[in-house]
Chain A
Amino acid sequence: MELNLMLILSQLFNGLVWGILLGLLAVGLTIIFGALDIINFAHGVLYMVGAYSAYTFSLVITQVLGTTTGNFWIALFFAPILVGLLGVIVEIFLFRPMYDRDIIYQFLLTFGLALVIQELVIIVWGSMPMSFPTPKILRGVVDMGFMFYPKYRLFLLVLTPLIMIAIWLFLEKTKYGSIIRAGTEDKEMVTLLGINIRRVFTMIFSFGAAMAGLAGALAGPVLGNLQPELGNTVLLPSFVVVVLGGMGSFPGAILGAILVGLTKGITTMIWAPASQVVVFALMALILIFRPQGLLGKR
């Protein structure tokens, strides 16, 4: 019985870790969707670029500083910035000329972009799996009294909600945050108020991309191995999260992430083969009966 309970709890925790990482991705996706009306198929590969570049940053930093302490944290800082810059370039050169076109074409553009970035990643980093080390302080397991759980995963369970709160504060309490929110609510009004909406769009897209990059960098040690399939494995589940919470809703993305994480954890426990089907069936059900999502506005 004890053992069973432990198994159940660790599955739930695993589900949650997976969920909150998806949540970070979904936050970016949902903000981009809210403002730009784009479902970003390139979000998965941006996440992958985040993970790979964090790997490279920590290697470079190790060589420059001659020490391995702290390299992960510096990489964690730089990887999202790099992905954010990539987002700026993509938005300015690819999306900007497309805003007046049919939504379908923007959607297809992100699909082509995903292919290109995916292949570029393989060209730069190769297609062999690369092992992503866990930072030294967070190696090993913690005795939680009722079970042992990897330190790094627990750390994610604490850190990611803090990041979410920081994003929420940024969106709610700062000037830039309110411009972003305004951009997702009513574009014309923002323009009327004399704000350059194009720049806002660039900002939003690169912010979303940076979030994907951060999620990738954070996921590295959990994944253990980096491989070019990474982007594909998270893309559709993060769509599910966004749809579940409501496309364009920030709190929705968080709720969706927790729900998807728990659903996956629970179904894995009950009957593992069904876990993936259930996640997508959930998405279909939400789209059928409540297309605006759990917390979305119509």
Chain B
Amino acid sequence: MARFFKDRFTIIVIIFLILPFVFPFTELATEMLIFALLAVAFNLMLGYTGLLSFCHASLFATGAYTMGILLVRYDINLFLGMLIGALMTALFALIIGWISIRRHGLYFAMLTLAFNEVLYFTIFELKDLTGGDDGLRGIFRPDLDLGFFSISLDEPMRFYFFVLFFFVLCILVIRRITNSPLGSVFMAIRENENRAESVGYKARHYKIAAFIVSGFFAGLAGTLFCIHIKYAALSFCHWTLSGEVIIMSLVGGIGSLYGPMIGASLVVLMQDFFSTIWDRWLLILGAVFIIFVMFFQGGVWEGIENLISFFSRKFKKEPALE
């Protein structure tokens, strides 16, 4: 039991379970969860594999548009739509990844950015399918159909727990991956690609794997967001969203699995809080981001970790003194 509570993720889940009851804006909380998932998916690449991707907006958008189109045109089953959306995104990530990982560092980032833009303008021009500049309208939130009974998800609180369920599931899967030998290879590539190669790992294959896994979960976040706001907008694919995801991850801390969750939650909260009092809240976001890049590269999570280890050391020492 103690081990159960020592697990940081348990604490985070408990916070998220209580959150909608103390927090007046359930829909905002849902948005926090979705972007937290997106940021964690992104961080599989930057934090774990050391790949700075600038195409996560396009991955998010692929998931959202796939879900939206399937719903509008084919009235698809909820779970099936989410699955197809995530798989489509994984496939798209495979294509981008297969090509992009031929380059390193900034060239890699630029290449992913180029693909992001190709998709952006493709969505923009395929007006019949995607609605172009106006976005995809007519999306609805399908009922949660479990075979023997079905529940409407239109009630915000229900939808929140629906999203939370998938969030926890995804994070557990992602954590399983990062703790597995596969995750270790990812980190080996981040630390020193040549060395990982010389030990016998095909870095290319593992980088593509990182891309696919990251794409799958980013796409899933996209499908959830699509039914959350019942709309798919061209701005999902705008490169500034890729940048925002980077901001979220860095503010939270790219060194751990949980940092990006905190970062995404904070950024979404800040966005909501400041945008109601000041139109130019992006100025604050930009300034906060610059401060983090310059002075707190470990992000908020590292600060929390330091605090916890500081106090737990104190906590442990006292009995020893008796």
Contact = CB atoms under 8 A, between A and B. Distances in A.
B118 A123 contact: no
A232 B107 CA distance: 20
Interface in B295-321: 297
A239 B285 CA distance: 24
Contact of A239 (B113, B240, B246, B286): B113
A277 B103 CA distance: 21
A105 B299 CA distance: 13
Given A39-B106, A287-B110, A108 B286 contact: no
Interface residues of A, number: 41
A149 interface: no
B273 interface: no
A293 to B, nearest CB: 10
Nearest to B239: A236
A107 B107 contact: no
B283 A243 contact: no
A291 B103 CA distance: 8
Contacts, number: 104
Interface stretch (A75-83, A96-104, A194-202, A253-261): A96-104
B118 A291 contact: no
Contacts of A125: none
12 contacts: A97-B294, A98-B294, A103-B105, A107-B106, A109-B293, A115-B282, A115-B286, A123-B280, A276-B117, A277-B122, A284-B115, A291-B103
Nearest to B292: A112
Given A111-B243, A111-B246, A112-B293, A287 B114 contact: yes
Contact of A39 (B110, B246, B280, B297): B110
Q: Is the interface of A mostly helix, strand, loop or mixed?
A: helix
Interface in A117-133: 118-120, 122-123
Contacts of B106: 37, 39, 103, 107, 247
A94 interface: yes
Nearest to A284: B114
Contacts of B105: 103
Interface of B: 46, 52, 99, 102-103, 105-107, 109-111, 113-115, 117-118, 121-122, 124-125, 239-240, 243, 246-247, 250, 280, 282-283, 285-287, 289-290, 293-294, 297
Given A239-B113, A280-B114, 9 more contacts: A94-B294, A111-B243, A111-B289, A113-B290, A119-B286, A236-B117, A243-B110, A276-B124, A284-B118
- What are the 9 closest A-B residue pairs judged by CB atoms, nearest first? A115-B286, A119-B283, A116-B286, A112-B289, A112-B290, A280-B117, A284-B114, A276-B121, A273-B125
A277 B119 CA distance: 8
Nearest to B117: A280
B282 A119 contact: yes
Contacts of A114: 286
A162 interface: no
Interface centre among B246, B280, B286, B293 (most CB of A within 10 A): B293
Interface string A259-273: 000000000000001
A105 B110 contact: no
B48 to A, nearest CB: 14
Nearest to B290: A112
B286 A283 contact: no
A114 B285 CA distance: 11
Contacts of A280: 114-115, 117-118, 121
A288 interface: yes
Contact of B107 (A123, A274, A291): A291
Contacts of B102: 288
B113 to A, nearest CB: 7
Contacts of B294: 94, 97-98, 109
B250 A108 contact: yes
Contact of A115 (B109, B110, B111, B283): B283
B282 A236 contact: no
